Amino acid sequence: MEPRRKYSTALHTCHPCRRAIPYRIYAVIHTCGIIALMYHHVLSILTANNTLITCLLLLSDIVLAFMWVTTTSLRLNPVHRTEYPEKYAAKPEDFPKLDVFICTADPYKEPPMMVVNTALSVMAYEYASDKISVYVSDDGGSSLTLFALMEAAKFSKRWLPFCKNNNVQDRSPEVYFSSESQSQSEEAENLKLMYEDMKSRVENVAESGKVETAFITCDQFRGVFDLWTDKFTRHDHPTIIQVLQHNETDEMMPNLIYVSREKSKVSPHHYKAGALNTLLRVSAVMTNSPIILTLDCDMYSNNPTTPLHALCYLSDPKINFGLGFVQFPQKFQGINKNDIYASELKRPFDINTIGFDGLTGPVHMGTGCFFNRRAFYGPPASLILPEIEKLGPNRIVDMSIKNQDILALAHDVAGCNYERNTNWGSKIGFRYGSLVEDYYTGFMLHCEGWRSVFCSPKKAAFYGESPKCLTDIIGQQIRWSVGLLEVTFSRYNPITYGLKSLSLLMSLGYCHYAFWPFWSIPLVVYGLLPQVALIHGFSVFPKASDPWFWLYISLFLGGYGQDLSDFLLEGGTYRKWWNDQRMWMVRGLSSFFFGFTEFTLKTLNLSTQGFNVTSKANDDNEQMKRYEQEIFDFGPSSSMFLPMTTVAIVNLLAFVWGIYVIFTWGEGPVLELMLASFVVVNCLPIYEAMVLRIDDGKLTSRICFLAGLLTFVLTGSCYFLLK
């Protein structure tokens, strides 16, 4: 384990969590229990008649034990940090320039007004405005997004001064004008009318799907929209870079630049990682700020002093040499009271992150991250220079961003063939090779020797939109699973490659995510095998009179008890924890299971997994109503729900049969019945969607029929397996 980091500088402090020592003691006890369980499995293999069943249980317990070890590596030294931005704010002349990267890719799944509010919220930071440059990457190449940003640039001239003069805290206009705390002054009312007028124009253009000439009020941009011809598609189009606002003419206003990189059907574009690398190069040419903030288009700024929190670390001479990035947690708005879909992702975004922070630092989460630009150009002690000098991280830009030579070079470095025979994506910039470019890039930066810091101020730095549809959530996590498996089965596996550069605990922490999809193995085995055995009168677990019975009970209660304590200590509730562990089962039987399938097909060149943008547009009123009422919405018929529905039916049958056996004969397989009961309670929303509901969010008759048929086949075929 790396030494505990305690800093007592004026700008920040670090405090170890009090639960670290009890967790270390429990880790020793639980480890002894796991060793005893493995010993029991070996004895069973040597003495059992059916070694296949024992081997399946052993495989499942090996996966569970390994995943517990990876989780425990993040529980041994968790830390909490506190920043004091008010001490840094007294020195505005020391503020470094800041480049903000906002990524969007589809104007229908990511509405242009969402992008506008995110851009305006960061442009209005409590920061020297002339030192902020906002770059919006439009990977969908949409004229609708460009039009929306043109409108935002005009509105910002009134919005930014209003925010700073009135100390407005909610600097997303949509949030401010929707809140009860908005000012009732005449200026505020006029601004609200301006905003509603802008919103109406943008939404009308988005609805029509085309920017008509009548909507363009700025003469200098009229010719830009002529680029959108019949041959222009989101997968095949030229580079478009438009400076919508620059601080040379608007002295106290931030730069706002629209970037849509060149796309060609015959050239790889590497999804979001490719878009971010394009922004790295374009910004290096135009502003080359030493600090970079990356944001998803739905993640608006909720705290105007967020950059100062980050600078408390990035400007500290005691740690800034090897500090690669400062990661803020992802927070989401509009989540229902008990978070039925576990959309907060509290475990990866809060609980695990403070554990990583006590080691080398948190993983990169894809958004809400302040980077040291130098971190993208090789290890701290070994600078890797790019192919041309003007892309170097230390260059001082002394020319206007409107200079024609600067714009020409920016267009050149945004070309689809620019990266050929260069180090971009391999040694420089965001890394290619995985759909989870954030996890992969953060891992490679840590392996190169960079550290990171987790910064979670009391007032959340960012708020975003989470999907409200179960289909969208599962689809998103299938993509994550495929990306994680791409790292797991590459030469950059966290075990084989990570141990060469990282500590054992840090490597195990990265393994916790890399091997995430492997959760599906024990969930499938424990979700079906003991229950089918119960139905056929066989026992796969020790009887209640057997001393080994209590080993299973203690491991189950200990594991779940520690998980619950983690959740509660980091501000969660019992109901949210229950829904979180239920969604862990749902993900294991859907996202992780189908992620494995997609990855296998992709590896065999039988399928190509693309980057499907998760929809942030929640315009289905009935769906939103069900979500607010905490009713599961299974949406349209999808094979993704077949495994979990099958497991639900099998466990219900096992539960009913187990109760019958106990009342009839007075004894029965207790552990199998307890497990089936636990699964049945977790599956109550599934039973409700199968039988009791008539709304559009129920499980379809097709899925229910196929699940019933699959249950019949499984229970019948497993009889011969158990014999």
Q: Which of 371, 723, 380 is nearest to 538 (CA)?
A: 723
Q: Note whether 168 and 195 are within 8 A (CB).
A: no
Residue 272 has phi, psi (to 5 degrees) of -65, -35
CA separation for the pair 121, 307 (Å, rounded): 12
Instruction: Kindly state the DSSP code that residue 690 receives in the 8-state scheme.
Output: I
Kindly list the distances between the CA atom of residue 201 and the CA atoms of 107, 123, 220, in Å, as whole numbers in the listed order. 15, 21, 19
What tokens does 56 get?
Answer: 């399946």
End-to-end CA distance of the chain: 48
The residue type of 409 is: L
Q: Note whether 435 and 340 are within 8 A (CB).
A: no
**In the chain, how long is the greatest CA-to-CA distance?**
88
Asked whether residue 139 is marked as a ligand-binding residue, the answer is yes
Cβ atoms within 10 Å of 701's Cβ, excluding its own: 10
Report strand pairing: 369-372 vs 291-296: antiparallel
Query: Given phi > 0 = left and psi -120 to 50 = alpha, else beta, which region is 56?
Result: alpha
Asked whether residue 109 is marked as a ligand-binding residue, the answer is yes
Kindly list the distances between the CA atom of residue 418 and the CA atoms of 203, 274, 712, in Å, as whole numbers in the listed order. 35, 11, 57
Residues in the chain: 723
3-state SS, residue 316? coil
Residue 694 exposure: Cα atoms within 13 Å on the Cβ side? 0
Please give the positions annotated as active site.
139, 438
Q: Note whether 354 and 80 are within 8 A (CB).
A: yes
Asked whether residue 698 is marked as a ligand-binding residue, the answer is no
Asked whether residue 110 is marked as a ligand-binding residue, the answer is yes
The residue type of 206 is: A
CA separation for the pair 427, 686 (Å, rounded): 47
DSSP bridge pairs for 720: none
Residue ranges of the binding site for UDP-alpha-D-glucose: 109-110, 139
Residue ranges of the binding site: 109-110, 139, 272, 296
Residue ranges of the binding site for Mn(2+): 272, 296
